[in-house]
Every structure is written in structure tokens, then in C-alpha cells.
Amino acid sequence: MGRLNGKVAIITGAASGQGASEAEIFAKEGAKVVAVDVQTDLLQQVVSNIQEVGGEAISIKLDVSSEEDWKTVIEQTLETYGKVDILVNNAGVIISNNIENCTLDEWNKIQNINSTGVYLGMKYVIAEMLKTGGGSIVNISSIDSIVGGSSSAAYVASKGSVRSLSRHTAIDYAKCNIRVNSVFPGYIITPMTEEQLTDEERSEYIYSQTALPYLGKPEDIAYGVLYLASDESKFVTGTELVIDGGYTAK
């Protein structure tokens, strides 16, 4: 407990899945959490869950591809907490189409959320981190940007963009004490999805998607993000943390 005491963290895509798990774990570790997403009802439930157990959090609606929305999030975060120490760019979408069948509208939608959203988040948060002497940014990429095995050409491209932009920004702002790292989740399953699998389907899925004999869950990613967000990783920047149950090592 207390690994993020005194820190203010903006977490995108915080309404469900990995983002919700990150928000809850960060709050337990002492962070003041600014949970942002377009799914406002689910987002408010995450914030309520945090507050019910004594954590501190607020919710703000954010379309990560909107520059005006990002300006509003920064403004409200500063009004409420006075600073930003941590940014987790977690929001993302996927549409499964190979490059031949991917429409331009699908391509642009995925790039706008998965890639441009990360750029905008870093652009506006870094401006505030420079004023306070540093901070930590964690961008969520995907193992699909390493192995290229996804069924979505646009998704692979967007996550490759996140990977490259993270390394560029890490070097660009290292002397300013702003650390930028990326996390590469493998195939993470939610409790709801797991319940829908038969025992045979679950065994086949485990065999094909991990080396370990079980499936990853949102908290498995969240704890890796927590390390990179905390001062425990103060000498870590520009790194790529793969959390995939050994899939890419197979």
C-alpha cells in the first residue's frame, strides 16, 4: 500500500477492463485518480467503487481523439488536484479486418483513438509535467505490434505507432525527468468472457494464447503499469514491458 501516495494519475479507458483495474489499484496505492472514458455510466460506477473503499477519484468524459476534450480534462484535473504526475494511455479499440477489407473509415477510427489519442494525451500532460519537474507516462501497446498476428491491420499499425512514439518521447524528455514506457499485453480475458468458455474451449484457448497454464486477467496488466507509474521504476524509461503469459517466447 502507498506506492503512489501523493500522486495524481489520469487513466484513459477507465470505464472497464484493464483501465478500470488500473484505476482501482492505483487508488488503493494512494493515487488521486482522474478516470476518463466516453462510457460515462460505467465510468462513474468505477469511481463510486473507489470512493466506497476510501479511495480518491473523479470521472471526466473524454473522447481521446478530441483535442478539446483533452484540454478540458487537463483543466478540470488542475482545478481539482493542482497537478498531473502520471498518465496511463489505456483507451483503445479494434475492428477485425485485414488490409484488403479494411475501409478508410475503419482505419481512421482506429488510428484516431489508438494512436492520435496517445499523442494528444502526452502532448497536453507533458506540458504540465514540465512545470512540476517530471512524471511518468505509461502507454498501452500490444504484443500484436511485435508479432503481427492480429486479425486487424489497422489495430497492428496503431499499436506499432504507440510503440515507436513511446520510445521517441522517452528519449526526447528524459532530461526533463519525464519517463515514458510502454506495456504490451497478451491475450487478456475478463471474468465474463471466461465464464462463457466451455472447459474444452478454455483449454484450447490457453494452449494457443499462453505458455503458462492459465489466462491473463486485467489486474495482471494493471500491476505492471503500477510499477512503471511508481517511483520504484525511477531509472526506467523507453522500456517495453511484455505481459503475455509467455506467448511471444513460444
- Identify which of 235, 176, 247, 169 has the alpha carbon closest to the alpha carbon of residue 209: 247
Known catalytic membership, residue 205: no
Q: Are 115 and 161 in contact (CB under 8 A)?
A: yes
C-alpha cell at 246: 509467455
Q: Are 37 and 64 in contact (CB under 8 A)?
A: no
Using DSSP, state whether 8 is helix, strand or coil. Answer: strand
Using DSSP, state whether 184 is helix, strand or coil. Answer: strand
C-alpha cell at 115: 494512436
Using DSSP, state whether 234 is helix, strand or coil. Answer: coil
* Helix 117-132 × helix 153-173 angle, to 10°: 20
Catalytically annotated residue among 81, 119, 124, 155: 155
Alpha-helical regions (H) of the chain: 17-28, 40-52, 67-81, 104-111, 117-132, 144-147, 153-173, 191-196, 199-209, 218-229
Residues marked active site are found at: 155
